[in-house]
Amino acid sequence: KPSTPTLTLFQSRNAYDGGYYTRALSYLQPLSEAPLQMPPEELTFLYYLYGRIFHTQGKLSIAYDNYLKCIAQPDIPSSRWQQSYSSYYIGEIARNQENRELARQYYKKALTYTDYFYQSSLENQCKVALGKL
């Protein structure tokens, strides 16, 4: 059975996917008060969700910081997709801010991850983005 924090992370993800960003953040708040007590895979997911929510809301510096925290977590196969997508989204933020070198760096970083969900789709997106730079 999934742990309580894992269930809470999925509740937040479902709220985010439904466009309920305030609700999604409210689910994460209790978890973020004691992040060091969470296993790495839950912490990776926490930072990824914060990144996605704030990115969608246009709070790019907060999203960027959370994506970096996600990427900095240990390499765990079940969390690799969150780290690869965080790299891609940092590339997107950098590209939109016309920082081509940083965008290139993070698109390439996203391509270094292997064996995760939706890998071929993300790799195609990165390759297309790199081709446009």
Q: Which pTM does this prediction carry?
A: 0.94
pLDDT tens-place string over residues 93-127: 999 999 999 999 999 999 999 999 889 999 999 99
**Nearest C-alpha neighbor of 16 from the set 65, 70, 46, 56:** 56
3-class secondary structure, 118: coil
At a CB cut-off of 8 Å and minimum separation 6, what does 1 contact?
A: none
Q: List pLDDT tens digits, range 24-55.
A: 999 999 998 877 778 999 999 999 999 999 99
Contacts of 16 (CB under 8 A, 6+ apart): 24, 49, 52, 53, 56
Q: Please report the beta strands in 4-114, taking only residues with DSSP state E, as ranges in sequence order.
A: none
